[in-house]
Structure 1
Amino acid sequence: MTRPPFDEVTERDLAIVSAQLGRPARNVVGIAARCVCGAPTVVATSPRLADGTPFPTFYYLSHPGATAAMSFLEAAQLMVECTELLASDDDVRAAYEQAHREYLADRARFGAVPEVDGISAGGMPTRVKCLHALAAQSLAAGPGLNPIGDLALERSSWSPDVCRCPDYGVDAE
């Protein structure tokens, strides 16, 4: 299982994540999922940034291909379909609520932040707001925890099993 505790974050990981995001990586506490080539795909971020800002998005999708694929699905209105699914399917709704609780528990291992207490990501537990965050949790936890994140990944043109990483310009360790 790749959920906390995570492998130690290397300088190379941080350099790749910074290249992926186009800005310096902030407060990464773990690499929660990786491409088959080893490059980070999902980072776990401290629930409180170094400057004191609360940061509820514990699982953060960093891979540019995955991010683009989730953006495409959002533009194609998959979130509307998923919200309707939550309203009509008791099993999906219950699993989504459990994914919310697991997200909170994973983040809590890295500190309590009262300002975001009970707030997870992606609209959980009652709506679908951000496929990026939901797919990130699915990639971190593996299939079967977050039904909406799993659905987004299934519908996606991107796969964690096929490396399409660009050259990040980072030397191997």
Structure 2
Amino acid sequence: MTRPPFDPVTERDLRIVSVQLGRPARDVVGIAARCVCGAPTVVSTRPRLSDGTPFPTFYYLTHPVATAAMSFLEAAQLMVEYTELLVRDEEVRAAYRAAHEQYLADREMFGVVEEIAGVSAGGMPTRVKCLHALAGHALAAGPGVNPIGELALERSTWSPDVCRCPDYGVDDVDAEVTA
């Protein structure tokens, strides 16, 4: 399968993502993961925003209930626990490094930005810094790619298999947006 495996962006998607973020969506190139109801959960964003800003977070978790669940886990200091797991478990460490490399390759399909070369997201490949980014990557990439993102999703109160979306208040226009 060609990576990255995401859906094209529609006008409706952009309206939902803008509501989710509380600001206009910027430089979205695809919907990398969706809720079971079809609403965006993870977006893919250009590595250089249209204003010229380098943007390393290619897979961006936007679902409000998922982001709240990751914030709760971060407040509980789960990043420390997972960083310690990386130190002591060679298999997890190797899979996390591979996830980092895959993340970089996916992002580079949309351009190489020298200022962020080698920088993925969430602390990869050596530490755990942002569970939002790691969970977003795990949801986008699918099972078996990002072990730390998957562990965070397993521990969270949110599930990608159960819709807990609010009413986004957008109409059902589904025209595809050209990136």
Residue matched to 2:59: 59
| Structure 1 residues 137-169: Cα deviation after superposition (integer angstroms, max 9, x where no partner) | 000011110100000000000001000000000
Classify the secondary structure of the residue corresponding to 2:87: helix
Q: CA deviation at 1:171?
A: 1.0
Q: Which runs of 5+ in 2 are unaligned?
A: 174-179
CA-to-aligned-CA distance 1:50-75 (integer Å, 9 cap, x gap): 00100000000000000000000000
Q: Which runs of 5+ in 1 are unaligned?
A: none
CA contact (8 A) 1:2 1:32 kept: no
Q: Structure 1 residues 62, 152: CA separation in 2 closer, same or farther (over 3 Å shift)? A: same
What letter matches 1:144 in structure 2?
Answer: G
Residue 103 of structure 1 corresponds to 103
Amino acid at match of 1:147: P
In the superposition, the TM-score normalised over structure 1's length comes to 0.98
How many residues get paired? 173
Structure 1 ranges of 4+ moved more than 4 A: none
Which residues in structure 2 correspond to 1:81-160 (within 5 Å)? 81-160=81-160
3-state SS, counterpart of residue 18 of structure 1: helix
Aligned position for 2:176: none
Note if contact 1:47-1:112 (Cα within 8 Å) is conserved in structure 2.
Answer: yes
Q: 1:41 aligns to what?
A: 41
Give the number of the structure with larger relative contact order, counting CA–CA contacts within 8 Å between residues 6 or more apart: 2
DSSP-derived class of the 1:56 partner: coil
TM-score normalised according to structure 2 size:
0.94
Q: Secondary structure at the match of 2:158?
A: coil
Take 1:96 and 1:77, find their aligned partners in 2: how far apart are those partners? 19
Summarize deviations over 1:63-116 as a string: whole Å, max 9, x none.
000000000000011101000000000000000000000000000000010110
Percent sequence identity over aligned pairs: 81
Structure 1: distance between partners of 2:96 and 2:7: 27
Q: Secondary structure at the match of 1:129?
A: coil
Q: Write the distance in 1 (CA, Å) between the matches of 2:122 and 2:72.
A: 16
Offset of residue 2 of structure 1: 9.0
Q: Distance in 1 between matches of 2:75 and 2:46?
A: 29
CA distance in 2, matches of 1:113, 1:59: 16
Query: Displacement of 1:4 after TM fit?
Result: 1.8
In the aligned structure 1, how far is the partner of 2:5 from the partner of 2:95?
Answer: 23
Q: 1:7-28 CA distances to partner (integer Å, 9 max, x unpaired)?
A: 2200000000000000000000
